[in-house]
Amino acid sequence: VDLKKLLKSLTIEEKIGQTLQIAPFFFNRDSEVEIFGNKTNTYLTQEEIFYAGSVLGIGSAEEMIQTQKKYLSKSRHKIPLLFMADIIHGYVTIFPVPIALGCSFNPKLAYEMARISAKEAQTAGIHVTFSPMADLTRDPRWGRVVEGFGEDPYLLQEFIQEIVKGYQGSNLKDEGVLASCVKHFAAYGAAEQGRDYNTVDLSRLSLYQNYLPAYKKAIDSNARLVMTAFNVVDGIPATVNKFLLRDVLRDQWKFDGVTISDYDSLHQIIEHGVAENDREAAVLGLNNGLDIEMASVCYTKHLKSLIKEKLLDEKLLDEAVYRILKLKDDLGLFDNPYKGASIENEIQFIKSKEHLEYAYQAAIESAVLLKNDQILPLNNIQKISIIGPYLTKKRTNGPWSWKGNQTDNSSLLDVFSNNQHELHYSKDCLNISELDDRDLSYLQSSDIIIVAIGEEVKESGEAHSKTDIKIPRNQAKLVELAKSLNKKVLTILYNGRPLDLSDIDNSDAILEAWFLGSLTNEAIYDLIFGKQVPSGKLVMSFPHNVGQIPIYYNQLNTGRPKVKDVHNEYVSYFLDAPNEAKYPFGFGLSYAKFSYTNLKLNKNKFTINQSIDVSIEVYNDSDYDAYEIVQLYIRDYVARFSRPLKELKGFKKVYIKANTKEKVHFTISKNDLTYLDSNGNEVYDYGKFQVMVGPNSVELDKLDFELIKE
């Protein structure tokens, strides 16, 4: 399609229409699509509706075909509607929530999640997904940590890259692929107090070093859209922030895709206090680089008069509309406006055996064994009892899984009966007051008591921040009761954020099961009975208590570091809690016992364009074949800026057979040593560095090396 010619042929109303994104119920009142945000009662004329360029959410192939057909029949220009939706961790086949999937330390699994999500979502004619969320997260009070991949910029980038590739495949014109919209640009995860939508106030240094790299990685992986964040950056709402949308995105990163607001976020700059009204919001949006306005009508209602009155340059509108048309053309919509939408495909692809197998594998690799005082794996002769609210819950898909029907999921109880595994006793209960003497006698005669507890799905996700991240008191009492009976207790956690687990610390074993998707409890069952071996490791620190937040592993040393076992009052520490996390970044147990020896470098001096070979031997001193996630961290001792005590720069997930040893190799090269300064320029420093390798961010073998001038 000759896009320039098409653009020239459009009236100004038609051009402005392309920048509008509305929900499908404007086209058909009975749309069952769930939208996330207050339904703005915008007044749109029929003409404005049928000029719109894209649709937010769609429920099925039939609804998409009906909407597209109706739209095109009324359209003079015949430019197809673009359908976008939130496919975050699966469409109907639901994968573990992102924070869980990150704990697999297996970006290739994330690639498969994205590939499968695209294949399923395309059967409903969806063209774009508002995913991945590339927001770095350091504050578990924030409900949306469930949608991110944790606190480390390097791990986050590895996942973001694979997810964008998984969605977009090799050619956007192909059926079964989705254009990826990376979000929320920028630094939405740094909301103060972890309170959603709250102020973000970061130094440029932290913005460049910690928060921006993952969005850049998405763009370098050819993500075609960027969604702006609700929050301010440098006091200016991201949705109209010129520094972000033009200086960084267009000029520095050469992004030529489409920018889209978050839900109603252009209109909300009035609430932010940087525009008097929608008309002023429209000026700021177009001048500062916003292309599509989602679910509000500042552009629709005001751009025409602003351009006619020469208060806005029509060239800016043309540039925005050109990018939107280019995306539609790259997706092949002009050739096939109904691309992918097919009822036969819905039947063939959705929840196929292959898709469920990947979802199961992802669930297995995303669970994290936090504690195991020799009680796991369980066996089939033990008399096992289960109590707690998650005994019968099927709602285990987690937030943002609206098409994943939970009724098909198996509860923990279902899985035991599906395996013809007779439980000694079980009771779905929230409080110990629900347990009478009869119940207690059953518990008393058990060998093992499993307590299945955690958060409700709606306690994490958008607009669901919390100040108290402890296990709810009543649920902790179930664990205390079980322990009071002198029983071995396995606590299984279903939750969407790191929690303060101090009240259930006396569990003999704790399995962090997050929300593992469609096959949550099938995976849990196979893990606790040893059919599968837990391998997940945390991508976000679990604090001792909420007072430690923000807590993350890659902290600076400060000028008065707290040194272990050295008592000095005037150092950086708390009177009432340790500095360290309860369960640190990178931590997770296995049934296997891994030991690390012989950390070696092939040389201890090197110049910036050389590389260093690092090797370490990992011995699996157990009878279990198992995965181990070997992590490599680097420290830059002396630099222009104070640098973190350690930064993850590599990880290898190795399968080590029982009673064997593997030699694991890493290569350190220039981009492991450089960092960004406060202008976003890449810099490095000569001098001493340290390499650290181990099973998590705390238990590390260390060696120094030196970067010398050529």
Of 188 and 666, the one with the shorter C-beta distance to ligand GLC is 188
Of 292 and 320, the one with the shorter C-beta distance to ligand GLC is 292
Please enumerate in sequence order all residues whose Cβ is within 8 A of that of 690, keeping only pairs 6 or more positions apart, or say none.
Answer: 634, 635, 637, 702, 703, 704, 705
- Total H helices, total E strands in the chain: 21, 26
Distance (Å, whole) CA 324 – CA 149 = 29
Q: Say which of 135, 139, 262, 526 is annotated catalytic.
A: 262
Using CB under 6 A, list all residues that contact ligand GLC: 36-37, 86, 130, 183, 262-263, 462
Per-residue CA distances from 553 to 542, 585, 638 (Å):
10, 6, 19
Per-residue CA distances from 643 to 47, 205, 276, 554, 635 (Å):
57, 11, 42, 9, 7
Of 271 and 357, the one with the shorter C-beta distance to ligand GLC is 271
Of 149 and 627, the one with the shorter C-beta distance to ligand GLC is 149
Per-residue CA distances from 436 to 308, 423, 432, 505 (Å):
77, 19, 9, 25
Could you tell me the smallest distance in angstroms from the CB atom of residue 413 to ligand GLC?
A: 34
Of 285 and 536, the one with the shorter C-beta distance to ligand GLC is 285
Q: What is the DSSP letter of 589?
A: B
Find the residue with minimal CB distance to ligand GLC: 130
Active site residue 262: yes
Distance (Å, whole) CA 262 – CA 283 = 17
Instruction: Determine how β-strand 82-85 pairs with β-strand 128-129.
Output: parallel
Could you tell me the smallest distance in angstroms from the CB atom of residue 195 to ligand GLC?
A: 15
Distance (Å, whole) CA 80 – CA 590 = 52
CA within 13 Å, CB half, 479: 23
CA within 13 Å, CB half, 280: 10
Distance (Å, whole) CA 289 – CA 670 = 34
Distance (Å, whole) CA 418 – CA 617 = 41
Beta bridge partners of 644: none
For residue 622, give both structure tokens: 């157990």
CA within 13 Å, CB half, 690: 14
**Three-state SS at 455:** coil
Of 86 and 365, the one with the shorter C-beta distance to ligand GLC is 86
Could you tell me the smallest distance in angstroms from the CB atom of residue 285 to ligand GLC?
A: 17
Could you tell me the smallest distance in angstroms from the CB atom of residue 528 to ligand GLC?
A: 34
Could you tell me the smallest distance in angstroms from the CB atom of residue 43 to ligand GLC?
A: 21
Of 130 and 651, the one with the shorter C-beta distance to ligand GLC is 130
DSSP helix, strand, coil percent of the chain (3-state; round to 5)? 35, 20, 50
Per-residue CA distances from 521 to 152, 366, 397, 492 (Å):
28, 13, 11, 10
Distance (Å, whole) CA 336 – CA 303 = 30
CB 355 within 8 A of CB 93: yes
Of 36 and 624, the one with the shorter C-beta distance to ligand GLC is 36
Please enumerate in sequence order all residues whose Cβ is within 8 A of that of 546, keeping only pairs 6 or more positions apart, or say none.
Answer: 141, 467, 468, 469, 470, 500
Could you tell me the smallest distance in angstroms from the CB atom of residue 130 to ligand GLC?
A: 3
Q: Which of 559, 562, 622, 575 is nearest to 595 (CA)?
A: 622
Of 86 and 672, the one with the shorter C-beta distance to ligand GLC is 86
Of 295 and 549, the one with the shorter C-beta distance to ligand GLC is 295
Catalytic residues: 262
